Structure 1
Amino acid sequence: MQLMKKGFILTALILISIGIKSQPSRQWTLNECIQYALENNITLKKSKLAKQSATEGLKQAKADLLPNISLSTNQSVGYRPWTDMGISTVTNGTVATSVKKTYYNGSYGLNLNWTVWNGNRNINNIKLNRITEEQAELDTETNSNIIQEEIAKLYIQILYMKEAITVANQSYAVSVKNEERGRELVEVGKMSKADLAQLTAQRASDKYTLVNAESNLANYKLQLKQLLELTGNDDFDIHTPEISDEDALTDIPQLQSIYESALVLRPEIRKSILSIEAGNTNLSIAKAGYMPTISITGGGGTSSTSMTSKNWGTQLKTNFDASVGATISIPISDNRKTKTAISKAKIEQAESMLDLEDKKKQIYYTIDSYWLDATTNQQKFIAAIDDVRSEEASYELLSEQFELGMKNIIELMSGKTNLINARYNKLQSKYMAILNIQLLNFYKGDKIDI
């Protein structure tokens, strides 16, 4: 009975293990990859923290408009070993004098310091910190766009490699079949061993191509997995959507319209525009160095001591005093510091304007590159469709003629190579056209959706 029980438990564990292993791994869609990366990518998380830091800087700049108020107190104990001064008290007509060598002092104060006007430096500092906060937000958006583009590129590469592996498998299967047929022909004396050796070499070459394609697929999956910040040894795979030839033949957006949209929407451009605003604000802050500063100070305080017969409350009342005042500080000479700050602010303005022009050119070059790749690959794809049909018909005819002894092994292998290359060219141009069209739409403001 005990043996049967153990056997039942072991069988159950084996079935559970088989069930777990047989569960298919998750297949990630492009949208799932993008959403997961936007939530978990470390670079994006750092960008969001930088935004929070900039927000704190803005809060501090606003708080600098308020007065500084501080409360202070000092408590001390003193010792006079050789003093002959004391406190005299009268009790029932009798004067008593006590000399205390140890005494206690206390002071209490409330102070206020408020910069009323400093050439609008505080106001402009708020503007500058608000711009910094907006730029930090745009940095996050820029990193988000970069990650989405990289995910789309890797996703398309994986889809391409999956189909390329299918082609490589078909090519390898044909090579194996040709080699087997060649062995049969050698046995009956209709093919030389030299020709068979070429078929064997072709089969080995196709096997190498297949293994290399599988290696590239694994590498692209690893890159995508790392971009998603995924860890562990779990299998990673993507969902293979239904992609038709029409997807590669969709209309390509106009180059100029994409560029005009990108100038409005892309965060890199908006950040550069904000940098120009920041330069103007820094210039105003620098010019404030020539302006006077007006501040108000005030305070009140009191004290107490044990060297008097008055009680503590009375001392605080009688010793209380308060003051208020205004200070005007007019700069006369600051060793050229203000002039240098103004010159540097103007240089910063010029640099920001050049940076904006540079960003516009980079955006244009990127869009132009995507547009050219989309147009070229779409034209290549159209040509490749006809090329594949032609090569398939040609190879089929070559195979029949080879079987009849009308074509030699060199012509057969050449026809097969041409067919495989045509299929690869068709796949590559198809997926590259789809990728670049998607990226063009992304720069226009649309979502990447494959």
Structure 2
Amino acid sequence: MNYYRIGIFVFCFCTGGLRLLSAQEKPQEWTLKNCIDYALTQNIQLKKSKIALESSQVDSKSARAKLFPSLSFGSTQQYINTPFPEGNSLDNYVVTGSKGSSKNSYTGNYSLRSSMTLYNGGKLRNNIKSSKLQEQVQQYSVEEEIDNIETSITESFLQILYAQESVKINEETVALSKLQCERGKALLEAGSISQSDYAQLESQYSSDKYQLVLSQTTLESNIQTLKQLLEMDMTETLSISTPILEAHDVLTPLPGKEEVYQSALNFIPSIQSGKLGIDIAKLEHKNAKAGYYPTLDLSASVGTGHISGSDSNFGQQMKNKLNESIGLTLSIPIFSNRENKSAVEKAKLQISEAELEYLNAQKELQKTIEDIYLDATSSQAQYAAAIEQVKASKTSYNLAQEQFNLGMKNTVELLTEKNNFLSAQQEMLQAKYMAILNAQLLRFYQGKEITL
């Protein structure tokens, strides 16, 4: 893991300085680093994780804000229309507005209210701590997405390199089969081989061309997979920069699996999230126990109002009706239909579950590293053996070809040696890239940057 790169990425994302690369900025040939860096700017799941992180940061602010008093303003405006009594008309209905005898009135009331919780068993403080831990969990979720992108891109990139070499081997095989067919035709015309032998050479030539098409299709499929990981448009082309990988790159010394495991425990997001999960569960347990404690709330308000038809003017009424209030509300739980007791029992179970989740994450990490280490050592051993096998099978095939040209070997023997040589090449190629992939994954779990 490249912590410097992750830090720069998170900073750019949070400050809004990160922008999508335009087509002109994309490299002509993509290295592994280009692919990883580009994917970190384009991946949709990573963007969603960043949004979830911002949401959890908002939740943390909301939890802290509950420590402070709330403040609200309210106003009620009311117009009352009283119909004239039955049998009376407007002419005989006397309105003495100066005495306030009008049947129509207008009132207005205004209030400013504030309240805050003074004590509730520590729930507010616990909620602040819990929301902060949730924010850290979401941060680890972002880092986990980054890790998944890095490993997925590496695997896909190496699959392309493997497919490219496989295509080259099949191209060379097809070219060789073509020469063998041409040589076989000359031998057939000279009477040195039978028509059946020549037909076998042609059949092998067709089979080799078919294998070439399959390997080319596999290469295109792997490129398409990488383009999808990079969130590239289907019309865009992707040209891979092929690194030079020597035998020493494949047979690089491996770190001890215990060393890798201990390093991974210190930074792998799933492990860190598991630790925080236990802390969050313990805070929830404290909150559940707080249900047994009393709560104390403070409230205060200021109000005033006015009414039409009064002898006093608007300003005088607002002053005369001004009132203030302040109060304390104490709530003591006596019987809650077992709600508090059930909440405490469930919170204890959540702590046990969180501890098991943390233990399971450690076991999964240990299994993953052990499997990678086993694959790495096995692949390196297979690659070392495959090098010798390729040399031996190539020598045997060259000898069989010379003997075939001299009429000392039949077609079946020649094709058998050829297929053995081709199989040895494919086995060496597979062991090569399996060894490289697993060695890079071990570097990743050590906290080191994946490089090719």
SS across alignment from 2:409: coil
Among 181, 184, 203, the residue aligned to 1:182: 184
Are the counterparts in 1 of residues 250 and 432 from structure 2 also a CA contact under 8 Å?
yes
User: Aligned residue pairs: how many?
Assistant: 420
Are the counterparts in 2 of residues 158 and 221 from structure 1 also a CA contact under 8 Å?
yes
Residue in structure 2 matched with residue 192 of structure 1 by the alignment: 194
Among 72, 75, 92, the residue aligned to 1:73: 75
Are the counterparts in 2 of residues 378 and 433 from structure 1 also a CA contact under 8 Å?
yes
Shift of 1:100: 2.2
Residue in structure 1 matched with residue 88 of structure 2 by the alignment: none
Residue in structure 2 matched with residue 361 of structure 1 by the alignment: 363
Structure 1 unpaired stretches of 5+: 1-23, 90-96
Partners of 1:345 and 1:76 lie apart in 2 by 50
Partners of 1:428 and 1:446 lie apart in 2 by 25
Residue in structure 2 matched with residue 120 of structure 1 by the alignment: 122
SS across alignment from 2:334: coil
SS across alignment from 1:28: coil
Residue in structure 2 matched with residue 158 of structure 1 by the alignment: 160
Residue in structure 1 matched with residue 330 of structure 2 by the alignment: 328
Among 32, 42, 45, the residue aligned to 1:43: 45
The 5 Å alignment of 1:80-119 reads: 80-82=82-84, 99-119=101-121
1:412 counterpart letter in structure 2: L
Among 208, 212, 215, the residue aligned to 2:214: 212
1:74 counterpart letter in structure 2: T
- 2:397 maps to 1:395: yes
Are the counterparts in 2 of residues 107 and 302 from structure 1 also a CA contact under 8 Å?
yes
SS across alignment from 1:111: strand
SS across alignment from 2:266: helix
Are the counterparts in 2 of residues 381 and 429 from structure 1 also a CA contact under 8 Å?
yes
Deviating more after overlay: 183-192 vs 25-34: 25-34
Residue in structure 2 matched with residue 259 of structure 1 by the alignment: 261
Shift of 1:392: 1.4
Shift of 1:232: 3.4
Partners of 2:406 and 2:27 lie apart in 1 by 48
SS across alignment from 1:339: helix
Residue in structure 2 matched with residue 286 of structure 1 by the alignment: 288
Partners of 2:288 and 2:231 lie apart in 1 by 44
Percentage identity across paired residues of the two chains = 39
Partners of 1:86 and 1:305 lie apart in 2 by 17
Are the counterparts in 2 of residues 87 and 309 from structure 1 also a CA contact under 8 Å?
no
SS across alignment from 1:237: coil
Shift of 1:234: 2.3
Partners of 1:25 and 1:113 lie apart in 2 by 60
Are the counterparts in 1 of residues 188 and 194 from structure 2 also a CA contact under 8 Å?
yes
Are the counterparts in 1 of residues 30 and 241 from structure 2 also a CA contact under 8 Å?
yes
1:325 counterpart letter in structure 2: G
TM-score by length of 2: 0.90
1:268 counterpart letter in structure 2: S
Partners of 1:405 and 1:302 lie apart in 2 by 118
SS across alignment from 1:242: coil
Which deviations, in whole Å up to 9, do the C-alpha atoms of 1:70-96 show, x marking residues without a partner? 11111111223458897686xxxxxxx
Are the counterparts in 1 of residues 97 and 309 from structure 2 also a CA contact under 8 Å?
no
Partners of 2:382 and 2:322 lie apart in 1 by 92
Partners of 2:427 and 2:321 lie apart in 1 by 96
Are the counterparts in 2 of residues 57 and 129 from structure 1 also a CA contact under 8 Å?
yes
1:305 counterpart letter in structure 2: I
SS across alignment from 2:407: coil
Are the counterparts in 2 of residues 113 and 295 from structure 1 also a CA contact under 8 Å?
yes
Shift of 1:247: 0.2
Shift of 1:305: 1.0
Residue in structure 1 matched with residue 13 of structure 2 by the alignment: none
Are the counterparts in 2 of residues 27 and 238 from structure 1 also a CA contact under 8 Å?
yes
Are the counterparts in 2 of residues 75 and 106 from structure 1 also a CA contact under 8 Å?
yes
Q: Per the alignment, do residues 85 and 69 of structure 1 end up closer, same or farther by CA in structure 2, a change over 3 Å counting?
A: farther
2:28 counterpart letter in structure 1: R
Which deviations, in whole Å up to 9, do the C-alpha atoms of 1:309-332 show, x marking residues without a partner? 111111111111111111110000
Are the counterparts in 2 of residues 25 and 235 from structure 1 also a CA contact under 8 Å?
no
Are the counterparts in 2 of residues 25 and 236 from structure 1 also a CA contact under 8 Å?
no
Residue in structure 2 matched with residue 341 of structure 1 by the alignment: 343
Partners of 2:411 and 2:340 lie apart in 1 by 85
CA RMSD of aligned residues (A): 1.6
Partners of 2:27 and 2:396 lie apart in 1 by 41
Residue in structure 1 matched with residue 422 of structure 2 by the alignment: 420
Among 312, 315, 326, the residue aligned to 1:310: 312
1:47 counterpart letter in structure 2: S
TM-score by length of 1: 0.91
1:304 counterpart letter in structure 2: H
Residue in structure 2 matched with residue 18 of structure 1 by the alignment: none
SS across alignment from 1:238: coil
Are the counterparts in 1 of residues 60 and 128 from structure 2 also a CA contact under 8 Å?
yes
Among 299, 302, 319, the residue aligned to 2:301: 299
Which deviations, in whole Å up to 9, do the C-alpha atoms of 1:41-99 show, x marking residues without a partner? 0010110011011111111111111112111111111223458897686xxxxxxx574
Are the counterparts in 1 of residues 100 and 309 from structure 2 also a CA contact under 8 Å?
no
Moved over 6 A (4+): 83-86
SS across alignment from 1:304: strand
Query: Over alpha carbons, which structure has the higher Rg?
Result: 1
Shift of 1:360: 0.7
2:55 counterpart letter in structure 1: S
Partners of 1:217 and 1:359 lie apart in 2 by 35
2:371 counterpart letter in structure 1: S
- 2:227 maps to 1:231: no
1:221 counterpart letter in structure 2: I
Are the counterparts in 1 of residues 100 and 311 from structure 2 also a CA contact under 8 Å?
no
Which deviations, in whole Å up to 9, do the C-alpha atoms of 1:289-319 show, x marking residues without a partner? 0010011111121111112111111111111
Partners of 1:86 and 1:118 lie apart in 2 by 57
